[in-house]
Structure 1
């Protein structure tokens, strides 16, 4: 629905990448920029399209993406993004040209196109129509630097690694080891490096926005800015700046909130593998036993279709419901930001996606890191070795080790130290977005740049 009361605002066109971990930060950025006086149009593919009724302040335009049922069923995320960039180029060009033609006044003109780094097809269309463009990177500076190391290693013939589990240090980017580099597990290696190279290319864009903050990544952001010929704006955590809508590709089960209300403060370990990761039945059973044996209450998200060979949690052999017992609450999807803000939650077993990391840090909740692929491995290493707000659960899942790790975080003195450091980071994150903070100042400079176009 059009923004009837806001037609005289300068307009921004934001282009989404159709995965939940990318859509939600883009909606949050849109809400921030709307609060700064801009009118918002969001362009999205038909695949994984958000519900416009959840975002009444924004216009939504949907373009054909050309994805076949086979493309989607393959679950090859790299291939899907490459196909989207190939087949969305012309539909987006036509969509954007029509928007330009329909501009009614100079006050209503499109001033900029802001696009997710994985929707880089947007830049050419913006340039062809003489519109400035800005890249929005939903990941972090550390991961971007690690990707750059990886791309150079690939160019030199050092990828694939002789030993993918190597503990050898990456000298260009401490504290990473070779095993922490963000190598994709999806599809052919050449496709992954093609995608990473395209996403890294700034092309003719005028600036880059990062959903991160100085208190986590100041040195890496400084290094990036020294390497980059356009300004970088670190404005995170974007989900904390203004109230924002979210895209729910899975229905949230809010009944877990009343279950949390009955638990003691800082007693619950929240377990969620994110919106894309999957596991096998053996690992799920080890997790169930390890969580149950820890004697800690736990809220466990088991997404439909996330267990290989089983449609749902109940169909996994081994009597998981009996193992979980009354101590555990299992849901298909949870309202994560609300869960992490609940005073009963004292730890988060996470895949270490960047959005989850920011949400956890913003609430002062320490983390058990179990990364699945890509950039998650970089973030997990920083959680355990640099920020020291969590433990890295590596190698094969085994119930005894799971029990020990949960108790180290939730019960032992070691965990108390991590919780205190996590609370310190929460306070620093709050300072970043307050008046005079680094993210606050960076956001104002971004707005000034956009208004100068």
Structure 2
């Protein structure tokens, strides 16, 4: 007998699409029918990237149907403007989702029984309830990040923040024993890379989602118990089912992968390559970009660097960039616009991961036992950096100078420290073993995933 039809809805950003797509593949493998709902903009990017990489939507796998709804913004509006995106998504997408659900039924698709929705899209659980569709909430980041959100009343009571999420005290705190220490200036909503007014909107979204999440019958997270024992003890009802992976199936990339880098890695010695990637949202100005580039050269090590087309908007000399590419071409370095990060980190040549510490990247590095050099950009990435450097001790962090710049000398020094530290490498390898055991039969994430499957099978 066929299993239920499940709607899957991520927040419109790569770091949210990827884990929900990985979860979708797992559900399809178990016989569920999945309709994966992106915004129209992200849907077009995913389909274009699939066609460029492997020939079309069919490459996703027969059980995943791709669907899309408008996000409420016009084509020329900036979707990196947090204020505009949050406002448009929360005001316009509920109605569009309702019409999509009604349209699927009218077209003869099986009636959806479940919505597996991103916890950051809490309004979708209200939409699901209107249609009699049951809901599961997916938290795509660290359990500790959700714990911070849920403990906002306590942070207000303790006088760390006010009722708008703005700082009242500058200090380092721990939410609970075993959780990573964090400075109040690095709370996700105070460090959202946006002006104060937009940070308040982000904070309001979090507090609304905290209440809407109660409409879901289960909350699962892309984490594992042994990585976050303190957070799991604080909120035992948040079930870690990770680290999620898609076993080389497409994960809904918004940019085409450059497969040449895997062949380039094949030609490098074991544990020799510095892999550098800052996710889908980080932006570097021209000065920082140049320091990073020259720092990679200074290491004298082969490097693979992911530079998105919008990574450094304006201010960079094309002549300088062309000269840099010529200097590092061949065995010294390779620059790509996007890649299969899972394959890169699983490659025997990967020695060190210079990362923004987005949670997907963190879990992918952990799962493959690659030591980190942490360079967080915003939001929850500082929390993830604290896990890596203070709790797991599987990496180090860069230290910006008085102008906020990570210099080329700082990068070279820290890369050498990470690669040369036998303790970091040993802990990274052991932690990878723990992560892999969690998702195998009998592991904590394996058992939690079965609880999810049993619920979706009701």
TM range (shorter): 0.7 to 0.9
Q: Distance in 1 between matches of 2:335 and 2:254?
A: 19
Structure 2 residue aligned with 1:393, among 386, 394, 398?
A: 398
Tell me which residue corresponds to 1:172. Answer: 175
Which of 62, 87, 99 is the equivalent residue of 1:94? 99
Find the partner of 1:245 among 246, 250, 270: 250
Distance in 2, matches of 1:142 and 1:92, equals 30
In structure 2, how many angstroms separate the alpha carbons of the residues matched to 1:303 and 1:330? 10
Alignment of 1:17-416 (within 5 A): 17-49=11-43, 50-51=46-47, 52-55=57-60, 56-71=62-77, 73=78, 75-100=80-105, 108-149=110-151, 152-153=155-156, 156=162, 160-161=166-167, 168-173=171-176, 174-182=180-188, 183=190, 184-187=192-195, 188-201=198-211, 202-225=213-236, 231-239=237-245, 244-310=249-315, 314=318, 319-321=323-325, 324=328, 327-395=332-400, 396-410=405-419, 412=420, 414=421, 416=422
Mean CA deviation greater in 394-403 or 360-369: 394-403
> CA 1:345 to 1:217, structure 2 compared with 1: closer, same or farther past 3 Å?
same
Residue in 1 that maps onto 2:423: 417
- In structure 2, the residue matched to 1:16 is 10
State the 4+ residue runs in structure 1 displaced beyond 6 angstroms. Answer: none
Q: CA RMSD in A?
A: 2.4
Which consecutive unaligned segments of at least 5 residues does structure 2 have?
Answer: 48-56
User: Following TM superposition, by how much is the alpha carbon of 1:322 offset from its aligned partner in structure 2, in angstroms?
Assistant: 5.5
Structure 1: stretches of 5+ with no match in the other structure: 1-5, 226-230
Tell me the SS of whatever aligns to 1:423. Answer: helix
Cα–Cα, structure 1 residues 332 and 98, in superposed 2: closer, same or farther, change >3 Å? Answer: closer
SS of residue matched to 1:33: helix
Indicate conservation of the 8 Å contact 1:285/1:320, yes or no: no
Do structure 1's residue 447 and structure 2's residue 453 form an aligned pair?
Answer: yes
1:373-413 alpha-carbon deviations (Å, 9 max, x no partner) = 00111001110010000011132311111110011112x2x
Paired residues of 1:146 and 1:378 also in contact (CA < 8 A): no
CA contact (8 A) 2:32 2:63 kept: no
**How far does residue 160 in structure 1 lie from its aligned partner after superposition?**
3.7
Shift of 1:126: 0.9
Q: CA deviation at 1:323?
A: 5.6
Judge conservation of contact 2:275–2:350 (CA < 8 Å) in 1: yes
The number of residues matched between the two structures is 429
What is the SS of the residue equivalent to 2:215? Answer: coil
Deviation at 1:41, TM superposition (A): 1.5
Equivalent residues of 2:356, 2:375 under 8 A apart: yes
Name the SS of the counterpart of 2:245 in structure 1: helix
Q: Give 3-state SS (helix, strand or coil) of 1:306's partner.
A: coil
